[in-house]
Structure 1
Amino acid sequence: MRISNKLSVVESGATYSTDATEGGTLRSKITNDLIEGSKLEPVEGSRAWIVVLGSFCLHFVILGNLYASGLFVPEYEEKFNLTRAKASLIIQLQAGMKFTMGFIAGKITDRYGINAVLPLGIVVYISGLILASYAKTFNQLILTHGVMVGVSSGLLYWGCISIVSMWFKKRRGFAAGLAAFGSGIGNFSMGIMIQRFIQDGGYEAALFRGGLISAGILLIAALCLKRRLPLVDYLHPCSDQDVLSDRNFRLICSATMLFQVGYQVPFAHLPSYILDLGFDSEYAAIAVSQIGVGSSCGRVLLGYISDYVGRLRMFRFVLFATVVVCAGWYLSETKATITTFAFFFGFTSGGFIALVFPVLADYWGGKRLGGIAGYIAVSLVPGSYLGPFFAGYSFDRRGDYDIAIWMSAACIFLAACLLLGMHVPSEIVDDDVHQQQEIDSQRALGAAVTGAAVAPIDENTDNMEEFI
C-alpha cells in the first residue's frame, strides 16, 4: 500500500488541496484569498471627486431642508393656533432625531456599508415629507415632518457623510468643504423654493413639491457614494475605548454640544424675528437663504485654507469668529444689518461644520469615522432641542429675542474655549499606511498557514480512493 502525497489545508472556512511539491503555489493562493478586496483605490483620484458630488447632493437635501424648516414655523403657528415655542417643536424633533440616529447609522455603515442605510433612509425621508403635506393635525405633522424626516435624515447624513474624508489626505479640508458646500446651496435654494411654494399653495404644497425635488437629488447621491476603506468587524462601543478615553475627543464632543445650542437658534427663529420687525415673509426667506450663501463660501474657502494653516487652528478660529457674529445679531434691525449677520453667521459656522470630519480623521483615521462621528452626533442632541426651545420660551415670556441672542453667543464662546485645550496631533493618521500594515499581516498569516496547518489527509476520510 502506498500513501498519496495529497495534502489538505483549512483556513478561515476555506479548504485547499494540492500536492506537497506545490507549497509555493498553495502559499500564493492562500495569501491572495486572504488579502482579496484589501487593495485600496487611489486617494484624490477621479472616483474621489464623484464621491464628493454624492456628498454634495446629500448635504443639499438633508441640511438644505432642515435649515429652511424655520419658514414653516409661522405657518404652523397660524394654522394650528400654537405658541412660538410649540410651533418650533417640529424643528427641534427633526434636528434632534437626526443627531440621535447618528450613533446607530455610523456604526451600521462602518460594519455593513452605506447600502445598509441609503435605500431605507431615502424611502422614509421622502415619505415623511409627502405624508406631512396631507397632515390634518399638528400631531400628524410631528410624526411625519418631525419624526420620520428626522430619523431618516440621521440615517442618511451620519451614515454616509463621513465617506469623503476616506478618499482624501492632503486636500481633505477642501474636499470636505466642497461636499458641505451643498448644504449652503441647499439652504439658499430650498429657502427660496419653499417660500415660493408656500405663497403659491400653502405649506402643504411646499412639503409635497419639496419631497419630489428631494427624491431626485437623493437618487443622484445614491449613485455616486462609495466607501473606500474596508468594513470594520465590530459594533460594540467598547471597541472605541481608545477614542472615548482620549482627552481631545472629549473636548470636541463637549464643544460641539455647546455649539449646537447656539447654532440652532437663528435657523429656528430668524424668520419669526424678521416678521416681528415688520418685514414681509419674502424678505424673511431671502435673509435665511443668505445663511446658506455665507455657509457655502465659508465651507469651501475656510476648508481650503485649513489645509495650509492647519485644520485644528482653523477649527478654533471659526468658533471665536462666530461668537462675534452672533453678538452682531443683537444690533441687527434693518435689512442691511440682518442680511450681513445672516451671511457671516453662515460663513463662520459653516466653516466649523465642514471641518468636523477632517479633524476627526486627522486624529483617528477614516476607517472608523462613521462610528466615531456617531458619538459626535449624540453630543449634538441636547443642543438641537434646548436652543430653539429656550429661544421660543424666552420670546413667549419677554416678547423679544434679546436673551436668546446672548445665550446663543455665550454657548458658542464656551465651545471655542474648550477647543483651546486640544493638543495638536503628533502625526496625521494615514489610512493607506494602516491598510498596508494589515495586508502585510495577512500575508504573514498566509505563510504561517502553509507551514503550520498542512497535514496529511486522514485514512478515515471519505477520500480512501487516494490510498492503495
Structure 2
Amino acid sequence: MDQEARSSHETAEKAREPGSAEWVPTVAAADLRAEQATDRPRDGPYAWTVIAACFISLMLSIGINDAYGVYQQHYQLVEFPEATATIISWVGTVQFLVMCVGGVFSGFLCEHFDTRLLNAAGALVMGAALIGGSYCRTIEGLMVTQGLLYGVGASFPFIAGTSIPTQWFTRRRGLATGIALSGSGVGGMWMTSATTAMIGALGRPWAMRVTGLVAMLAVLAVSPWMRVWMVPSRSESVIDWSMVRNPRFLVLLSALVFGIAAYFGPFFQMPSYSVVVLHKSASWGSNMDTLMNGLSVVGRLSIGLLSDVVGPLNLMIANTALAAVSLLALWVAFDTVGTAIAVALLFGFAIGGIVTVIPVVAAQVFGLARIPSIIGLLFIGYFAGGLLGVPPMSALLDNVGHRTDYTAAVWYMAMLPVCSLLFLLALRLMLTRRIRIKI
C-alpha cells in the first residue's frame, strides 16, 4: 500500500469513529477500491480546467434540451399546425427521458472505458441527431432524431459532466460541482434566445444544423479534459444490484423522484398561469421562466460554495424546505403579481441548489469508487420525476380546474417538495442523529 493509500486508509478509519470531530457517515472505504488514473493533483489548476470542460459539456447537452420549448412553439404554430400539442411535446419528452434512462448505461460504460472517448462519441451522436433532424419533415422522424438519438448522445456528457467534478476536489468539492452544473442553467438561458433568433433568421432546418455543428465541435474540443481522477471499481452488471438493495440509496432515490417532479411544475405552469390568472402578456410569462433559470444559476453557485462549509445533505434539506415554503406559503395562498415574482425568485434559487448538491451528496454517502454508475442510477429518479410532475399537474388543471383554476395543480406542485423533504430527513436520521454535524 503506497503512502497516499495509507493516508486515505487512516483518514477513513478516523472518520468512521462516531466520537471523532471529523466524523461523517461516508462510505470512505469505497475509495480504496479505485486506482488513481492520473498524476495530476486534486484541487489544482488542471482540476479547474476539467471543471471548465464539464461546464461546456453540460451547457450544450442540457442547454439544447432546455431550449426545446422554442421548437415546440414553431412546430405547433408553423410547421405542424394540424398536430396536437401533446403529440408534438413528446419529441422533447423522449429527448429528456432517453437522456435519463441512457444515464444508467453510460454510467456503466464510464467505469469500463475512457470518459474522454465516451464524451467525444456523445458529441458526434448529438451533432448527427440534430443535423439529421433538420432534414425530417414529419413528427415521427423528429421523434427518432431530435428526440431518441439526441437523448442517447447527450446522456454521455450528461453523466460525465455530473460525476467527474466530485473526483477532482476534496476541499472545494461543492463549489466545483456547482460551477460545473451551472453550465446547464446558463445553457438553458442563452440557447433559448439563440434558437429563437436562428429559426427567425435562417429557418428551422438551418437552426438545427448550426446548433448541431456548434454542439458537436464544442463538446469534441473539451473532451480531452473530460477525464476521471480515479478509475472506479468495475462491475460486470449494468445495474449495481447491491446499491439498489441499499436502504440509504432507495431513500435518496425517493427524495430525488419527488424533488425532480417539483422542479418541472413551476417552469411549465408559470407562463400560462401569468396569462390566465394574472392577466399578463405571454412575453411577461416567459420572462418568469427566464427569471427562474437565472436564479437557479445563482443557487447552483452559492449552494455549491456553502456546501463545503455546512455539508451537502444539510443544504439539500434546507433548499428543499425553501422550495416547499415558496409554493405553500406564497403560490397556494396568493394570486398576485408580487407573490408570483417572489415564487420565481425563491423557487428558482432553491431548485438550482438542489440539483447542484445531488452528486455531492451521493459522493458523501456512497464514496467515489462507483460514482458514475451511482449517478446513472440516480437519473432513474429524473425519469420517474419527469413522469410524476407535469402530466398529473396538467391533468388536474384540465379536469379539475378546467384550464382556468390553478388551485388543484398548485397544491399538487407544493406537496411534491414536502414529500422530498420527508425522505431527506429520513436519510439524515439513517446516517446520524446528531444535529450539529457537517454532512
Place the TM-score, normalised by the shorter chain, in its bin.
0.7 to 0.9
Q: Deviations over 1:58-111 (max 9, x none)?
A: 221122222232333333333333444333222321221111011100011012
Q: State whether residues 116 and 227 of structure 2, in contact with CA within 8 Å, keep that contact through their aligned partners in structure 1.
A: no
RMSD between aligned residues: 2.8
- For 1:152 and 1:88, locate their aligned partners in 2 and report how far apart those are by CA, in whole Å: 20
Farther off after superposition, 311-320 or 401-410 = 401-410
**Identity percentage over the alignment?**
24
Are 2:243 and 1:263 aligned? no
Query: TM-score under structure 1 normalisation?
Result: 0.75
Number of the residue aligned with 1:245: 245
* Number of the residue aligned with 1:297: 298
The 1:418/1:239 distance shift into structure 2, 3 A limit, reads: closer
Q: Which residue of 2 is the match for residue 61 of structure 1?
A: 60
Residue 316 to residue 163, structure 1, CA distance change in 2 (3 Å): same
SS in structure 2 at match of 1:88: helix
Residue of structure 2 equivalent to 1:112: 113
- Is 2:91–2:147's contact at 8 Å kept on the other side of the alignment? yes
Once residues 251 and 184 of structure 2 are traced to their aligned partners in structure 1, the CA distance between those partners, rounded to angstroms, is 26
Taking the TM superposition and a 5 Å limit, the aligned residue runs for 1:369-388 are 369-388=371-390
Question: Deviation string for 1:234-287 (max 9, x for gaps)?
Answer: 23257661x333322111101111222221233444445556566555445433
Superposed counterparts of 1:53-452, under 5 Å: 53-78=52-77, 79-201=80-202, 203-236=204-237, 241=242, 243-274=243-274, 282-327=283-328, 328-329=330-331, 338-397=340-399, 398-400=402-404, 401-423=406-428, 425=431
- The CA deviation at 1:297 is 0.5
Larger Rg: 1
Instruction: Report which stretch shifted further, 77-86 or 222-231.
Output: 77-86
Could you tell me how far apart the structure 2 residues matched to 1:165 and 1:109 are?
A: 15
Residue identity matched to 1:81: E
Which 5+ residue runs of structure 2 have no aligned equivalent? 1-33, 433-439
Instruction: Give a deviation string over 1:317-350, Cα, whole Å, max 9, x none.
Output: 1111112233445578777655543343221111
For 1:373 and 1:203, locate their aligned partners in 2 and report how far apart those are by CA, in whole Å: 34
Scaled by the length of structure 2, what TM-score is found?
A: 0.80
2: CA distance, partners of 1:49 / 1:262:
32
Distance 1:309 1:196, change over 3 A: same
Seen in structure 2, the aligned counterparts of structure 1 residues 120 and 238 have a Cα distance that, compared at 3 Å, is closer
Aligned to 1:25: none
Opposite residue 260 of structure 1, the aligned amino acid is I
Aligned counterpart, 1:452:
none
1:437-468 alpha-carbon deviations (Å, 9 max, x no partner)? xxxxxxxxxxxxxxxxxxxxxxxxxxxxxxxx
* Bigger mean CA deviation after superposition, 362-371 or 402-411: 402-411
Aligned to 1:46: 45
Unaligned runs of at least 5 residues, structure 1: 1-34, 427-468
- 1:319 is aligned with what amino acid? T
In structure 2, what is the equivalent of residue 450 of structure 1? none
Q: How far 1:383 sits from its partner (Å)?
A: 2.0
Query: 3-state SS of the aligned residue for 2:143?
Result: helix
Partner SS for 1:80: coil
Would you say the 8 A contact 2:165–2:177 is kept in 1?
Answer: yes
- Per the alignment, residue 32 of structure 1 pairs with none
- Alignment partners' CA distance in 1, 2:135 and 2:389: 29
Rounded to whole Å, the distance in 2 between the matches of 1:284 and 1:199 is: 21
Change (3 A) 1:62 1:110: same
Do 1:330 and 1:405's aligned partners in 2 also have CA atoms closer than 8 Å?
yes
Contact 2:161 2:180 in 1 (8 A): no
Which stretch of the first structure deviates more once superposed, 70-79 or 183-192? 70-79
Shift of 1:359: 0.9
